Structure formats: structure tokens, C-alpha cells
Structure 1
Amino acid sequence: MSEFEKGNILYVEDNPDNRNLIRRVLNAEGYFFVEAANAKQAIEKLASEKIDLILMDINMPDMDGYTLTAEIKKMSRFAAIPIVAVTANVMRGDREKSLEAGCDGYIQKPIDIDTLAQQIERFMRRSTNV
């Protein structure tokens, strides 16, 4: 059995410290971690890797996560991959804006690493039941 048998997760996040933290947590939980620092890298990773779930930072410099989510959902090859918004935006309506953009869920920053694995498992189960 592979060390990373639970699935492949793409984390689109421009902050390398955030990517490193989430990589450590997800690898320890048995997930294969794929990272992208921007929209261009995210599309390249989607084309070259088998991805089961996308964690999408919303506030990125080149293209925000809402726009990138909408672009990914337009591509038939990737439209069924669940996308979970990861954001510090906690104003009224931010969760709804994420869902309207095509996100399948929402995780608030700062990320609670003690519950992250449970949240990911919930989204992964949902994606396999579609």
C-alpha cells in the first residue's frame, strides 16, 4: 500500500508558509499533497496530476480564488473535482460568495490543524458519493 492512500489534494496558496504547514498535516494523515502558488501553476498541476480535491486560497495576487474556481468549473475535465475555499474572509456573505463561485465547501483561516483532517475527510467522502 502507498504511504499516501487517502487521495491527492491540490492546495492553491500563494503563501509558502501556509503551504508547508498544510503539507505536513495532510501528509501525516495519508494524503498526497500537490501545491500551486498561483492560478497558472494550479491549471498545470490539474493537467498533469490526478487530483481528488482542491483547497483554494481566495486571496491571491494574480487571480483570486473565486475567479480561478469559476475557470476550473468551466473545464469539463475538472468540473467534478470538489473545491474547498480556504480564506480569512469572515464577513457576512463571504461563505455564500465562495459557494456561488462554484466552491463545494469553506474552511476558515486561521486553519485549525486539529480538525483539518476531519474536514478534509468529510469533503472527500462527499466527492466519492457524487
Structure 2
Amino acid sequence: MARILLVEDNEMNRDMLTRRLARRGHEVLTAADGAEGLAKVASDRPELVLMDMSLPVLDGWEATRRLKADPTTAGIPVIALTAHAMDSDREEALGAGCDDYDTKPIELPRLLEKISRLLDKTAPSEA
């Protein structure tokens, strides 16, 4: 399973999703805002980031832009998590560099499928 960084400012959402992902074998790291998320990406090198887009200190759009602009972290897949469900919101998240997009409330089976697909894409191939 993977090391996943969950960047979410709502403590209840963070705790619930952390428990659900951990039960499926993932190691889950957490951050409560975009600045803390970027620091954890740099120090802990997660294999995937779940990024809430409406965050204090540094929002998810800007945190993702910075993560993707850094050559050392640009390859880490980011899934945007947001209550904003309009097509324009999806396009904005993808335009900021997110690799996928999911709406809240989270439907765990759908999110797990997206996580699996992105992890499979970034897994080193065996020679």
C-alpha cells in the first residue's frame, strides 16, 4: 500500500478519511493547511497527495501549483478534494496541476479507484 498525504483543514473529515484509508493498508500523513502540506511533501515524500482546495494559510490551488513547479515533487500525483462540483471547478483544479478531482462528500469506492489508478501510473516498472 501507499504513503498518502491528506491535506484537509476540517478535523472531522481528516480523521474519518485517515481511518478509512488506514483500514485499507495505506500509511496516512496529514496536514491542516497548504503550507503544512508542502512542508510534509518535502520532508516525508508521500506517493500521493489528497488536496482539499479550500484551505487556510495557502489554498489547495496554490499549494498544488508550487508542488508541481518543484522538479523534486512534480511527479507526485495530486487528487483535488472539494465541495465545488461545477465543471469549471474541475477544470480549475486540473489547471493548477492536480492529476484528478473528486467531490465531497467523499464516496470511498470512487476515491480508492482514483488512488489506485494514479499509483499504478507512477509505480516504477520492474525490469
Structure-1-length-normalised TM-score? 0.89
Deviations 1:98-117 (A, max 9, x none): 11100000011000124332
Contact 1:90-1:108 at 8 Å conserved across structures? yes
Other-structure match for 2:52: 57
Q: Is the counterpart of residue 18 in structure 1 residue 13 in structure 2?
A: yes
Equivalent residue pairs, number? 125
1:99, 1:108 → 2: CA distance? 13
Match of 2:101 in 1: 106
Q: Equivalent residue for 2:120?
A: 125
- CA distance in structure 2 between the aligned counterparts of 1:124 and 1:25, rounded to whole angstroms: 18
What is the percent sequence identity of the aligned residues?
A: 38
Distance across 2 between alignment mates of 1:46 and 1:15: 19
Q: Any stretches of 5+ residues in structure 2 without a counterpart?
A: none
**TM-score relative to the length of structure 2:** 0.91
User: Do the aligned residues in 2 keep the contact of 1:84 with 1:103 (CA within 8 Å)?
Assistant: yes
**Partner Cα distance (1:83, 1:58) in 2:** 11
Which whole-Å deviations, capped at 9, do the CAs of 1:3-33 have from their partners, x for residues lacking one?
xxx1100011111111111111110111100
Q: Aligned partners of 1:121, 1:29: CA distance in 2, in Å?
A: 12
Deviation at 1:81, TM superposition (A): 0.3
Deviation at 1:47, TM superposition (A): 2.0
List alignment gaps of at least 5 residues for structure 1. 1-5
Question: Contact 1:11 / 1:19 at 8 angstroms: preserved in 2?
Answer: yes
